[in-house]
Structure 1
Amino acid sequence: MKTHQLTHARLLEKVVYDPDTGKFTHLGRRRPKVGQFDKDGYVKISIDEVKHQAHRLAWLYVTGNYPPEDMQVDHINGVRDDNRWTNLRLVTHAENQAYRLASGREQSARGISGVRGVYWHGGKGKWIVTVRADKKSHFGGYHASVESAALAATVLRNQIQEERASA
């Protein structure tokens, strides 16, 4: 059963959601863990070969309905993989954008890490460092922690500045 509009009943057949932890588990599988990070740091869950954002599935699971078309599910604390029910709320697109700007949750070029040039690579499960300078991308490696990636980004930016100065 492949569907783009997942029903509440089908969702209940496939997964269990724990509102206290925000975690989903598959029903009837040896490996019950479910979900993986997308490139933006949100958790995506595949059900019937269709990927869904976990925070939207949490809303469907608890309320029995998708959010209205003109509303978005927002993470109150700004942490995109924190899908606890107490951390989710409905907001309009304008409210969501205003909150992001006011809180600095996603400043341009900082993304979910909060560090310029440091991004989450969901496929590798690591932080990646990429610094843009002179219309080129400079790769700074993959890092297990955001702290080590931040340090690598600083070192790479300094190295690029030194190379510019000596040229």
Structure 2
Amino acid sequence: MKTRMLTHARLLEKVVYDPDTGKFTHLGRRRPKVGQFDKDGYVKISVDEVKHQAHRLAWLYMTGNYPPEDMQVDHINGVRDDNRWINLRLATHSENQSYKQISNKSQDGRGVSGARGVYWHGGKGKWIVTVKANNETHFGGYYSDVPSAAIAAANLRNKLNFGSVTP
């Protein structure tokens, strides 16, 4: 049985998902541990010889359905292998991209604010706030300091209906 469209019933026959830990275990195997990392840091699980992303399987396991075609399963804390149920939510592609974490660069320099949507504008000598939503870039103003700009970016994301998003 090699199929891409895994049913909820078949999933329940093959694995057990613990929503508190986000871990899956195979049923009826000597080595019940399941899953391995892919090149992007997501956990992949093989069911009936087909690999599936663990966060999508968690959604199927808990709800009985795959996410709608226009939605993605997002990791709220940005940790790709944290598949606890409380860490998963549905998001559009645009929302999912806006939730991305800023890299933890420690050096000073252009664009290294440590806050999403806050970038250095060399010409103005200030921090600029921009947020992308629905394929449009929304301007949030210029700020002298990063904390003020981070708050403005979070407020703009909330205004654009991305939910409660922290700076």
Q: Same fold (TM over 0.5)?
A: yes
Q: Counterpart of 1:41?
A: 41
Aligned equivalents of 1:4 and 1:25: distance in 2? Answer: 20
**Alpha-carbon separation, structure 2, partners of 1:78 and 1:99:** 8
Shift of 1:43: 0.1
Instruction: Show the counterpart of 1:89.
Output: 89
Partner SS, residue 61 of structure 2:
helix
1:22 aligns with 2:22: yes
Query: 3-state DSSP class of the match of 1:96?
Result: helix
State the alpha-carbon separation in 2 of the partners of residues 73 and 45 from structure 1.
16
1:1-167 maps to which residues of 2 (within 5 A)?
Answer: 1-100=1-100, 103-104=101-102, 107=103
Q: Secondary structure at the match of 2:2?
A: coil
Indicate the structure with greater helix content. 1
Q: How many residues get paired? A: 106
How far, CA to CA, are the matches of 1:24 and 1:77 in structure 2?
A: 20
- Distance apart, 1:99 and its partner CA: 1.3
Letter in 2 for 1:37: F
Equivalent position SS for 1:24: strand
Separation (CA, whole Å) in 1 of partners of 2:42 and 2:10: 22
Cα shift at 1:5: 0.4
In the TM superposition, residue 63 of structure 1 has moved relative to its aligned partner by 0.1
Unaligned runs of 5+ in 2: 106-167
What is the Cα-based RMSD across aligned positions, in Å?
A: 1.4
| TM-score when normalising by structure 1 | 0.61
CA distance in 2, matches of 1:87, 1:98: 16
Q: Deviation above 3 Å: which 4+ runs of structure 1?
A: none
Offset, 1:26: 0.1
Q: Which runs of 5+ in 1 are unaligned?
A: 108-113, 116-167
The superposition leaves residues 34-61 of structure 1 with CA deviations (integer Å, 9 ceiling, x where unpaired) of: 0000000000000011100000000000
Where relative contact order (Cα < 8 A, 6+ residues apart) is larger, the structure is 1
- In the TM superposition, residue 98 of structure 1 has moved relative to its aligned partner by 1.2
